[in-house]
Amino acid sequence: MSKRPISVTVIAWIYIVVGIGGIAAHITELNPRHPFELEVVEALVVRLLGIVAGVFMLRGHNWARWLAVAWIAFHVALSAFHSHQGLLVHVALFAVFTFFLFRSAANEYFRRVKAD
């Protein structure tokens, strides 16, 4: 059984904290008269997926690492429609996260869980 690389631990906790923070920020946008406004619900689901990715990366599930990469790629795509600074930040995070999540130590760690 391989030990979890510190980079995976840090990235997973970043996803968990950012997801919780995003939910805390967006939960205030829920309107009791219209509880299922699409934009708010989508934002909450995206944040929840970030938390799921983080938690299951800590548990060594390979699919969670792919979810994490897809999550940040989604944010790169979203930020392409906003500021250049936001786009650069998300592209940098995408590059750093992808690099560390697919290094050999991370590959070995995620390979240890057989039945995803």
53: nearest Cα among 77, 20, 24, 28: 20
Residue, of 48 and 40, whose pLDDT is higher: 48
Which pLDDT tens digit goes with each residue over 10-25? 999 999 999 999 999 8
Per-residue pLDDT at 1? 52
- Sequence length of the chain is 116
pTM: 0.87
Residue 64 near residue 8 (C-beta atoms within 8 A) = no
Which pLDDT tens digit goes with each residue over 74-115? 999 999 898 899 999 999 999 999 999 999 999 999 998 655
Per-residue pLDDT at 77? 93
Per-residue pLDDT at 116? 45
